[in-house]
Amino acid sequence: AGHFMRTGQVDLVLVGADRVAANGDVANKIGTYKLAVVAQENGIPFYPCVPTSTIDLSLATGDEIPIEERGAEEVVGLRMADGRPIAPEGIPVANPAFDVTPYRYVTGIVTENGIAYPPFDLSLRRMVLGEQEA
């Protein structure tokens, strides 16, 4: 993805998300954070697309989003074509299923009620609760 962004072949990035915190931090499949950072580095807008049911206003930040840790076997259980294990036996493994993209890398959050823009604490509340602008 980085090559295509750097060479001007990407206009914007759209991703899904599993959970959005009140401040606009976004949890999605592992690798989304990296994609958002590369997009910003290349001046490319980054938009998660979510139903409002994904926005959890009770979570102040993405630090409060629980991250599922997948089993080590998904990583160390892989084998090369000749049957040898891909990883040394007994190696410690971290295998998170999600990462959290900080709101500062998010251009806007697309919902069925429109697009929320920073400051997300206000715009996401309006998207979810239907509050009018103050």
- Report the percent of the chain where pLDDT is more than 70: 97
CATH code for the domain in which residue 28 is found:
3.40.50.10470
Kindly report whether the global pTM for this prediction surpasses the value 0.85. Answer: yes
Please name which of 99, 133, 124 lies closest in space to residue 24, comparing C-alpha atoms. Answer: 124
Tokens representing 26 are 């976004």
Tokens representing 85 are 């294990």
Look at residue 82 and tell me if it is in a domain: no
Instruction: Report how many helices (DSSP H) and strands (DSSP E) the chain contains, helices first.
Output: 4, 8
Look at residue 133 and tell me if it is in a domain: no
Q: Where are the alpha helices (DSSP H) in 15-119?
A: 32-41, 73-76
Q: Per residue in 15-57, pLDDT tens?
A: 999 999 999 999 999 999 999 999 999 999 999 999 999 999 9
Look at residue 123 and tell me if it is in a domain: yes
Look at residue 86 and tell me if it is in a domain: no
Alpha-carbon gap, residue 66 to 115, rounded angstroms: 25
Q: How many domains does the chain have?
A: 1
Do β-strands 13-15 and 46-48 pair in parallel, antiparallel, or remain unpaired? parallel
Task: List the catalytic residues.
Answer: 18
Look at residue 92 and tell me if it is in a domain: no
Read off the pLDDT band of 132 (50, 70, 90).
Answer: low
